[in-house]
Amino acid sequence: MQVAITCRHGSIRPELREYITQKAEKLVRYLNTVSEIDVTLEFEGPRVDVEMLVEIEGFHTIVAHVEGEDAGATFDKTLHKMEQQVHKYKEKRRDHKHKTAVKDAVQQVVTDKVVESGEPTA
């Protein structure tokens, strides 16, 4: 997995670059299919825009974007937002499979309607 950090219209300290790399690599804890993480810091006067792109399984991309005053604090907010989105993606993937088969669910609905109507079952 690669972490790419890009700065536009400014630069960051090596300590912050190392901090961003360490924190971004922790996203793999939530989802082990992360293939690439891109962090872009864009400086516009006193403001900084932090955008994080996480590529999953080579074809899904999750994006988080936050604007703020301090690069470190803004990155932390972006990372928190990304963690929530990755967790939501993981829950969707996990809940995709039904606990019961569709034909079993249909049979249960039919059986319940027959019992409610009082008709004898065959």
CATH number at residue 61: 3.30.160.100
Query: Which SS3 state, helix, strand or coil, does residue 86 take?
Result: helix
Total domains, the chain? 1
In this prediction, residue 110 carries a pLDDT of 75
In this prediction, residue 100 carries a pLDDT of 61
- Structural domain including 101 reads 2-117
> Looking at the domain assignment, is residue 105 inside a domain?
yes
Q: Is 112's pLDDT higher than 90?
A: no
User: pLDDT digits over 16-63, tens only?
Assistant: 999 999 999 888 888 888 889 999 999 998 999 999 999 988 778 899
The rounded percent of the chain whose pLDDT value lies above 70 is 83
> Looking at the domain assignment, is residue 122 inside a domain?
no
> Looking at the domain assignment, is residue 35 inside a domain?
yes
**Which is nearest to 51 in space by CA: 29, 61, 116, 59?**
61
